[in-house]
Amino acid sequence: MRAGRTALRRSQRRQLLTLLALAGLSGRPTAQTMTPPLPPSRSTAPDTPDPRDTEDPYLWLEEVQGERALAWVRERNAESEAQLRADPGFDALRAQLREVLDSRGQIPYVSRLGPWLYNLWRDAANPRGLWRRTSLEEYRRAEPAWETVLDLDALGRSEGKSWVWAGATPFGPEYRRCLLSLSIGGADASVVREFDLVDKRFIEPAAGGTGGFHLPEAKSRVDWIDADTVYVGTNFGPGSLTDSGYPRIVKRWRRGQPLSAAVTVFEAEKTDISAWVSVDATPGFERTTFGRQIDFYRSKTWLLGPPAGSATPTAGAPTLKAVDKPDDATLAFWRERVLIELRSDWTVADGVHRAGSLLVADAEAYLAGERRLTALFSPTSTRSLAGWTTTRRTVIVNVMDNVASKLEEWAWREGGAPARGGKVSRGAWVKRDVQAPYPGTLSVGALHDPLLDRGGADGKGDPLEEHYLLNAADFLEPDSLQLGRTGSDERERLKARPRFFDAEGMRAEQRFATSRDGTRVPYFVVWPRGAKADGDNPTLLYGYGGFEVSMQPSYSGTCGRAWTTRGGVYVLANIRGGGEFGPAWHQAALKSNRQKSYDDFIAVAEDLVAQRITRPARLGIQGGSNGGLLVGAVVVQRPELFGAVVCQVPLLDMRRYHRLLAGASWMAEYGNPDDPAEWAFIRAYSPYHNVPPAEGGAAAKRLPPMLIDTSTRDDRVHPGHARKFAARLVALGHRPLYWENLEGGHGGAADNAQRSLMMALEYTFLWQTLAHAQPAA
């Protein structure tokens, strides 16, 4: 948790995942955020039972490790595997997928710690991964020489644990010590252990102040204060978690001190999602910020003091100064400046700044109450903010224009022309358009290490202070990783993914459908070689539509091998609820307007049929997590429109979602089912509550074939959602397939062997169902 990490919005987390996750510093997208506690043997229950729960005959399936529930899971798994693994092409397909996942030609994405570039590498010989490092000069080589820092497979064997990487929090600028997060079986919950990066060994806890920091399995969050002191948020016992199951309390913990003796320094409200802390140790700009995450989109921030900006622990409770900002805005300090990203319009003395804007101001003046803000980005009807990153002197802004990426650099120039007509006294922010691959998807991350800023005003100190890594990809063009420098369009191509499938003759295009209320909804179509709009193509439509997460083009070797090269059309929908057109696009489908997201997805499906790309019997849909809720909702609303459904790690029981694991933290997205007025609109689309009988009476509907998959170790979205939905489907006469991985967490798999099995089951199901559909009449 270094400078500004807690202020990252979801779109930034998504693009930084590409550059950091495989490097081994950030784990899964939520590994560095406070996530819910590990599922107990029974589901999390409310303090006062709701009488409506007695109407649910499948509550026993929420017992994650219950014997009866697991027996049911094993029986369903056996049924599904017997059908799908019997397919003549199953083993070959799984081998092809595994070959892609384990390919030694994958890009080894890196993250910088001082002179080293770190990477987490997984392949067939190292399924759980090698955490390793090399220099930039070595990384430039086709075959770099890597130094192994930690072998997770060897560690798991020696300790008898199914360890999965969950991230690292290093202490700089020396970067000798770090706090490693290790998950059992891929769950979000993790064990935190101190590690020596020089000796390459764990520092075990010991009495007398010399041992290492160690936290038991929990949803913990840690950050360094100094070499012997950390801030920690974890499960300290009763009352220490919020209603959402996240840490409510942040404590200061000294080396050698029992965790029970750690001193409380900050507390959030029980009804908040979480408490958080971030330490920015940039020399000359040291700041420690604390915050309350009120809900998924609103937060409050405080600075540690006195003195203002001190990051040094003091005796007793610290003095905190509230930082004024709109509750739904994110704020990050960047050296002498502050960056603010808006989710709603903000009126200040110099005018109105629109939702979706990125603003910059002098930090000292801002904290003193001055609101002299410069807009580095303002949205339009087609342009939205995808993210941003900072070098020492430059803000690199990632812009989406009709779901295609463009980059802009903004830098302060003494005596420069004013940006957007703003008043300046000694200089201005100046924009430079970056020439980068277009169209497609760009992800950018600065290589600058702020902890190395020790060169003073002459700018010397960090040799990579203006360098960045740029990843470029598209549906048919493999990712390339390039080393760039601000102020120049010349970049060094460092790495590129192999071409995992022959894209010759394939093409990708963007189309638009019209939703029920007249809104134009974009979607991408990837055509296989030789395909024509004859209304008979096996087609897979994917969507998400939630939490302001954008669906952008990306290169998938697995989808290419398993789908498009076999003659399948692939479609990616950009429906409301996502972030493709900024906060307004997301907010249009919140709470009572959720149906608009489903209307958009249905409109895309209808357009695929109307444009003769496919027909309902050959149209499959797929979505995971919130996307699982999406496909679950639309299939019970419009079953005649689809030929197959893959529903992955889904939310489906919207009556109880807020009572299961992290569900309470999502009420800003969906609403509160305990509020009768809000339950009325949630009930209208909740898939679990709208399953029709397969036959008998006017309400009967025959649902298309479905494959529902999840993970026992998913401690983010409770596996009870998928289990209960499948059970209800069967009870009402439908015949879904169900498969549950016993490891894997919310990603569904803990390693590539599990992942290739899961994907082979999904693609085999889709191809069996759609490619072999009855000919059109």
Whether residue 273 contacts residue 296, with contact meaning beta carbons closer than 8 Å, is answered with yes
Q: Is 0.85 surpassed by the pTM of this model?
A: yes
Tell me how crowded residue 2 is: count the other CB atoms within 10 A of its CB.
Answer: 18
pLDDT of amino acid 209: 67
- Tens of pLDDT along 557-609? 999 999 999 999 999 999 999 999 999 999 999 999 999 999 999 999 999 99
pLDDT of amino acid 523: 98
pLDDT of amino acid 54: 63
Whether residue 542 contacts residue 552, with contact meaning beta carbons closer than 8 Å, is answered with no
Main-chain phi, psi angles of 87, to 5 degrees = -60, 135
d(CA 544, CA 553): 14
Q: In this model, does residue 44 exceed pLDDT 50?
A: no
Q: In this model, does residue 29 exceed pLDDT 50?
A: no
pLDDT of amino acid 12: 38
Beta bridge pairs of residue 394: 411
d(CA 197, CA 397): 33
Closest by CA to 13, choosing from 600, 614, 494, 547, is: 547
DSSP three-state, residue 4: coil
pLDDT of amino acid 716: 86
How many Cα atoms occupy the beta-carbon half-sphere of 12 within 13 Å? 18
Q: H/E element holding 480?
A: strand 480-485
Q: In this model, does residue 368 exceed pLDDT 50?
A: yes
Q: H/E element holding 275?
A: strand 274-280
Q: In this model, does residue 296 exceed pLDDT 70?
A: yes
pLDDT of amino acid 714: 81
In this prediction, residue 690 has a pLDDT band, given cuts at 50, 70 and 90, of very high
- Tens of pLDDT along 236-278? 999 999 988 889 999 999 999 999 999 999 999 999 999 999 9
Cβ neighbors of 330 (< 8 A, separation 6 or more) are 7, 8, 9, 299, 340, 341
d(CA 429, CA 420): 9
Residues 491-513 have a mean pLDDT of: 97
Of the residues 658, 718, 746, 756, only one is catalytic, namely 746
Q: What is the percentage of the chain residues whose pLDDT exceeds 90?
A: 80
- Tens of pLDDT along 317-337? 568 999 999 999 999 999 999
Q: H/E element holding 196?
A: strand 190-196
Q: Which carries the bigger pLDDT value, residue 54 or residue 79?
A: 79
Tell me how crowded residue 567 is: count the other CB atoms within 10 A of its CB.
Answer: 14
Give the CA-trace dihedral at 589, 590, 593, 594, to 10 degrees.
Answer: 70
pLDDT of amino acid 146: 98
Long-range CB contacts for residues 322-329, cutoff 8 Å, separation at least 24: 323/289, 323/367, 324/369, 325/301, 327/294, 327/298, 327/299, 327/300, 328/297, 328/298
d(CA 9, CA 337): 18
Q: Which residue has the tokens 């209304």?
A: 535
Q: Which segments of 22-157 are extended strands (E)?
A: 111-113, 116-121, 130-134, 147-151
Report residue 348 CA to chain centroid gap. Answer: 32
In this prediction, residue 88 has a pLDDT band, given cuts at 50, 70 and 90, of very high
d(CA 687, CA 736): 14
DSSP three-state, residue 420: helix
Look up 625 and say whether it is catalytic: yes
Strands of the sheet containing 374-377, edge to edge, are 330-334, 337-341, 358-362, 374-377
Q: In this model, does residue 682 exceed pLDDT 50?
A: yes
Residues 532-544 have a mean pLDDT of: 97
Q: How far, in Å, are 404, 416, 434, 708 from residue 410 at the CA level? A: 20, 12, 10, 46
Q: In this model, does residue 15 exceed pLDDT 50?
A: no
Whole-number CA gyration radius for the chain: 26
pLDDT of amino acid 314: 46
- Tens of pLDDT along 453-483? 865 444 468 999 999 999 999 999 999 999 9
pLDDT of amino acid 188: 82
For the ranges 41-50, 300-309, 479-488, 712-721, the lowest mean pLDDT is seen at 41-50
In this prediction, residue 698 has a pLDDT band, given cuts at 50, 70 and 90, of confident
- Tens of pLDDT along 106-117? 999 999 999 999
d(CA 591, CA 679): 10
For the ranges 369-378, 444-453, 686-695, 737-746, the lowest mean pLDDT is seen at 737-746
Closest by CA to 624, choosing from 545, 560, 522, is: 545
pLDDT of amino acid 50: 56
Of the residues 80, 220, 625, 711, only one is catalytic, namely 625
Beta bridge pairs of residue 429: 412
For the ranges 227-231, 376-380, 516-520, 661-665, the lowest mean pLDDT is seen at 661-665
For the ranges 7-11, 183-187, 444-448, 635-639, the lowest mean pLDDT is seen at 7-11
In this prediction, residue 423 has a pLDDT band, given cuts at 50, 70 and 90, of very low
For the ranges 9-23, 279-293, 436-450, the lowest mean pLDDT is seen at 9-23
Residues 688-693 have a mean pLDDT of: 97
Look up 658 and say whether it is catalytic: no
